[in-house]
Structure 1
Amino acid sequence: MSWLNVKHAMNLDPWLRVPLMWPEPGLEGVEAAQTPEAWARTFAEVWWEDFATEKPEPGEVDRLSDILVMYAKRAPSAFPGFEVLLHLPHPRDNPLPAYVNLVEIEEGESRETALRALTHADASYAIEPPIVEEFDSPHLGAGLRVLRYYQDEDSNEVHVGLRYAWRYEKGTDAADVLIILADPDAGRILRALDDVDEFARTIRISPDEEADTWKSS
């Protein structure tokens, strides 16, 4: 068996992985991995040091810390079981969550049918026809990238959805890989597109024997 490896995505700027459990397993001795508050404060300070050419105004580190706490507590529940990484190119930006996971293949479902369904390539609810493009990954092969505009049921706002999907088959291992992003600000998605493409190309499936290297540098 194999496992979803997002380790290389974690090394990309400007991406920040959100732990799914507290304290994060394997990091019980790391203060920033104990609680959402400790994690958020640590990375709010790091982001201002690493991604801003100017110093924060009074209260801006606290503001970012509060935002990260909110995402740490709420983002994982949007798609339970998915890995969550935040795109945050500047500490004053609103984080853009990306969700990644393996999806079990339904018996008899073809690759094309599955990938189009996972990416909502034929979504009847879209405001206009989704933009469907082939998307190659050096680790997962040929997949799909789909950008679509749709009306949110709760707010009636127009949102932008971006999804990537691949079918992974090697030996006895088989699964579909899915990445999900959405935002009410079309510009936010489009400005991040190059970074998201780079992020998507780092995702891979690794053999179980490499799992012990997950926490190593």
Structure 2
Amino acid sequence: MSMSTRWAEVDCDFGVWLLLPREIPPDLWPDDLSWAMDQAQAVWDDSGLRHRRRDVKNLVTLLLNYRSFMAGRAWSHMAYLHMPDPRMEPLAASVSVWRAQGERDDALRFYTGADLPGTDGPPEVAEFPTEHLGAGLRAMSRPATLRPSADAEEASATVLSYAWRVEDDTDVSLFLLSPDAARLREAVPDVDAFARGIRVVPDPEGEGAADEEEDEVLIEAPSYLHVLDRMEELTGEG
């Protein structure tokens, strides 16, 4: 797997979703804490809910933790939080853009884990057409533990994943994971709308940027979920 020379942008409802930038724009915020304080205050104010200073402070801490975690994931090229209500635990959504490899149908099933055995039966797999990315797949499953060392929450996590092939040269993946299956299922309509807002665009850093990577790792795995798990193990971030 290697990054595409193209990129993605998302047209989404920012009353529901919050972008987790990999780098804080220095012309907007001097540091991570300033970003988190502004975002947390705005989320609570926009919610219309009564809140106290400590509610904002708690959300600041949560945002800092999520941003730090997602920014350190090589497989997450863009990350958003599903936050329709600041009192709810957010869901992290990861968008990744890869160079297309292999047959289209095999690739979509690979990215969604459509053929993985699950603890509650096979994945729920459905065609998922979009205006900008074309036809794709959506799958929801509770896969068996990927690593024996995974803790109980990870082992029972529910996964919601989407994948598309765009113009035969780009594979796009959208991935969410949560130990709370009910929370994830309730979010499906919002995630579907988010997915339909993804489009592939030229890489803002210029064509060929992906070719500048010097280190490559070849991972043989039956699904994208196994790749993520293996990457965490190799980088020591799991």
TM-score range, shorter chain: 0.7 to 0.9
Per the normalisation by structure 2, the TM-score is 0.76
Aligned-residue offset at 1:156: 2.6
Deviations 1:148-189 (A, max 9, x none): 01244411331100000000016xxx1110001000000111
Q: Which amino acid aligns with 1:40?
A: A
For 2:203 and 2:81, locate their aligned partners in 1 and report how far apart those are by CA, in whole Å.
26
Aligned-residue offset at 1:101: 1.2
The residue aligned with 2:32 is: 36
Number of residues of Structure 1 aligned to a counterpart in Structure 2 = 197
For 1:204 and 1:151, locate their aligned partners in 2 and report how far apart those are by CA, in whole Å.
32
The residue aligned with 2:15 is: 13
Q: Unpaired segments of 5 or more residues in structure 1? A: 212-217
Change (3 A) 1:208 1:125: closer
CA contact (8 A) 2:40 2:60 kept: yes
The alignment status of 1:177 with 2:172, answered yes or no, reads yes
The residue aligned with 1:215 is: none
Q: Which amino acid aligns with 1:19?
A: P
For 2:198 and 2:32, locate their aligned partners in 1 and report how far apart those are by CA, in whole Å.
25
The alignment status of 1:77 with 2:75, answered yes or no, reads no
CA contact (8 A) 2:8 2:97 kept: no
For 1:96 and 1:139, locate their aligned partners in 2 and report how far apart those are by CA, in whole Å.
24
2:157 pairs, out of 156, 159, 180, with: 159
Aligned-residue offset at 1:2: 6.4
Q: Unpaired segments of 5 or more residues in structure 2? A: 207-238
CA contact (8 A) 1:147 1:163 kept: yes
Query: Identity, % of aligned pairs?
Result: 33
For 1:94 and 1:78, locate their aligned partners in 2 and report how far apart those are by CA, in whole Å.
20
RMSD: 2.1
State the secondary structure of the residue aligned to 2:72.
helix
1:149 pairs, out of 122, 142, 155, with: 142
1:136 pairs, out of 129, 141, 149, with: 129
2:41 pairs, out of 45, 51, 59, with: 45
The alignment status of 1:118 with 2:111, answered yes or no, reads yes
For 2:74 and 2:126, locate their aligned partners in 1 and report how far apart those are by CA, in whole Å.
24
The residue aligned with 2:199 is: 204
Deviations 1:77-97 (A, max 9, x none): 244452001000111111110
CA contact (8 A) 2:162 2:173 kept: yes
CA contact (8 A) 1:2 1:205 kept: no
Aligned-residue offset at 1:36: 2.0
Aligned-residue offset at 1:208: 5.7
Aligned-residue offset at 1:7: 4.1
Aligned-residue offset at 1:126: 4.7
